[in-house]
Amino acid sequence: SALPGMENFSDVAKAAWQTDDGKATFCVPMASVIHGFIYNKDAFDQLGIKVPTTNEEFYAALDKIKADGTYIPMAMGTKDLWEAATMGYQNIGPNYWKGEEGRTALIKGEQKLTDPQWVAPFAELAKWKPYLGDGFEAQTYPDSQNLFTLGRAAIYPAGSWEIALFNTQAQFKMGAFPPPVQKAGDTCYISDHTDIGMGLNAASKNADAAKTFLSWVASPDFATIYANALPGFFSLNNTPVKMEDPLAQEFVSWRDKCKSTIRSTYQ
């Protein structure tokens, strides 16, 4: 907790690596990942589709892609259950339970998973079924990745960690959009999940050297190097980081217009 550099992180950034009372922090926060949708820009241009911002626009886009028949509208399978849970439920869910407002209320016992705002995302996911292509029930996570990067699917429910891999595999221009809101003008919420931290073994024989290293990990210099070396893993440092990758820039720009939360099942 007293490590030089820890002042560079907000309470939210440190929360994933703290005791519940917040009195002890045991890791240096390194990176978060952001959920949203990555799309094939060439497909959207070809079909004259604008990036959707509301649910109505989202389903209109999916309908148009399906009617054309060139592309599977959306690449997501349900064989690997975590895929639908993470890139589906945890992706769109914060717009329903209002991010941290709902998540913290759940922890306090003020809300229940059977409340409407927690059930509604499941109803939305059920609506995705006609757009996932034939055999999605047997489709694994790597299958979904391949369907998108090979240009066979137009939209991919995503985590930002896909950026580096997709950049090496996709032979088309990509864009990204945040989870569509229920109606125009609604506050948008994104899963900006505290994903990676680094700690020190209390029994280490090299504690002093490790503390020196961890202080550097907590610095703005490290944040810039790391965020650009691994696009899609975003710095949790308070200092703004300039990123070179355009897709990473798009994802992180949502922090300015949407409210961030973490996955509801992770605390």
CATH of the domain spanning 1-267: 3.40.190.10
Residue ranges with strand state E in 125-198 = 153-159, 174-177, 189-198
**249 dihedral zone (left: phi>0; alpha: psi -120 to 50; beta):** alpha
Are 107 and 128 in contact by the 8 Å Cβ rule? The answer is: no
User: Could you give phi then psi for residue 28, rounded to 5 degrees?
Assistant: -90, 120
The Cα-based distances of 120 to 7, 55, 96 in angstroms read: 39, 13, 7
Between strands 153-159 and 72-74, the pairing is parallel
Question: pLDDT tens-digit profile of 29-42?
Answer: 999 999 999 999 99
* pTM exceeding 0.95: no
Give the pLDDT score at 1. 65
Torsion of the alpha carbons at 70, 74, 75 and 76, rounded to the nearest 10: -150
pLDDT, tens digit, for every residue of 58-71?
999 999 999 999 99
Residues 190, 196, 202, 208: what is their CA dihedral angle, to the nearest 10 degrees? -110
Ranges of the chain with pLDDT below 50: none
Residue type, 262: I
Measure the CA–CA gap between 19 and 24, rounded to whole angstroms.
6
Domain definitions of the chain by residue range: 1-267
Residue 57: phi, psi to the nearest 5?
Answer: -65, -35
Query: What pLDDT is attached to residue 21?
Result: 82
- What are 117's two structure tokens? 């705002």
